[in-house]
Every structure is written in C-alpha cells, then in structure tokens.
Amino acid sequence: MFLTHTNSIGMASRACVYLLTPSVPDASHGRRTYVGFTVNPARRLRQHNRELVGGAVRTGRLHLKWTLVAVVSGFATKQDALVFEWAWQHPSKSRKTREAVADLLGKRGAGPIGSVRRKMFELGRMLASCEPWCNAPFTVDVCDERVAALWDSPLAGPRPANVVVHVGRLPQRNAT
C-alpha cells in the first residue's frame, strides 16, 4: 500500500525518494545504484526499465533491468523530497549530510561508494542524525530482510526512532 502523509497545511504529500539497483549485476557496470524522486514508484520503475516512455535517461541508456531496493516517504512537500534526493545522491557534498557519512569513506565493511550497502548506511545516518530529517516521521519500505538488516549494523548508526520500516512488498500504485 502506498502511504501518504499530511503536511503542515493539511495537504497529502505522496512525494517519495527511491533507491534502485540492477536486477542482475553487470560486470561492466558493477553493483551500481540510482537514487530518484517520484510520486508513483511503480510507474517510475517501469520507466527506468523502458516499459513506459518518459524520463529515465540516465538508467535507460544502460539497458539494464532495475529493481526497487527502498522507498522513503513522509516528506511534507515535493521540495523537501527533492532536497533529500540530492543529499542522498551526493552525501559527501551536501552540507546537511557530509559530517554524518564522512567516516564511511574507507571504512571496512561499508561497501564501495554507490553500492546498496553504502546507500542504506547513508540513509540510516541521514534519517537518524541530519536536520531536518531526524525530527520528522518517515516510512521506509525495503525490498527484503537482507537489506533491512543493514540498518542493524553499527555502520548504519543508531536506528532512527522517527522511522517506520516495512519489509517485503514495496509501495504499489496504479502503474499506468
């Protein structure tokens, strides 16, 4: 079920930020990830997989099948989600996140930059300790137990109290 959250003026926001990875790792591309913004994760995934036209230029040209890894929802506005998207894409450049993720660089077990492992550690730290996200209620829908278990690693930092994690089926909406 796709969750909506009510913002401060009583309007529902469906904005979310998602993490993708190739369904089958390609030797020439490694285990890369993609972070994006949408109001409809199921439709956006179909666009990335070239089943529907529209957008997905960066992932479409690689001719890979993509899988949703995680979807973060609960943003008050589209702008808030877009700011979060940029910060998660560039955690070492963002003023909001660079301190929280700095020690992951070169840390044994953190995984290479851009890996699912690293992106989930960054997500946990961002939601637990970075303003304004550490004080807002979020829902993170995660694909499976192995990915959710990364949040229990010491590298992920303390488990964010403001986040509800759902494991299993990712948000579904009308994908047409």
> What pLDDT was estimated at residue 69?
92
Please indicate, yes or no, if residue 1 is contained in any of the structural domains. no
Please indicate, yes or no, if residue 32 is contained in any of the structural domains. yes
Per the CB < 8 A criterion, the answer to whether 57 and 36 are in contact is no
Which domain covers residue 41, as residue numbers?
14-167
Provide the number of structural domains found in the chain: 1
Please indicate, yes or no, if residue 176 is contained in any of the structural domains. no
pLDDT tens digits for range 100-133: 999 888 788 888 888 899 999 999 999 999 999 9
Please indicate, yes or no, if residue 114 is contained in any of the structural domains. yes
The angle subtended at Cα 76 by Cα 135 and Cα 143, nearest 5°, is 80
Instruction: Provide the 10 A C-beta neighbour count for residue 18.
Output: 24
The model's pTM: 0.85
The answer for 112, left when phi > 0, alpha when psi is -120 to 50, beta otherwise, is beta
Please indicate, yes or no, if residue 60 is contained in any of the structural domains. yes
Facing residues of 12 across strands?
A: 6
CA distance 128 to 99: 13
> What pLDDT was estimated at residue 59?
73
Please indicate, yes or no, if residue 143 is contained in any of the structural domains. yes
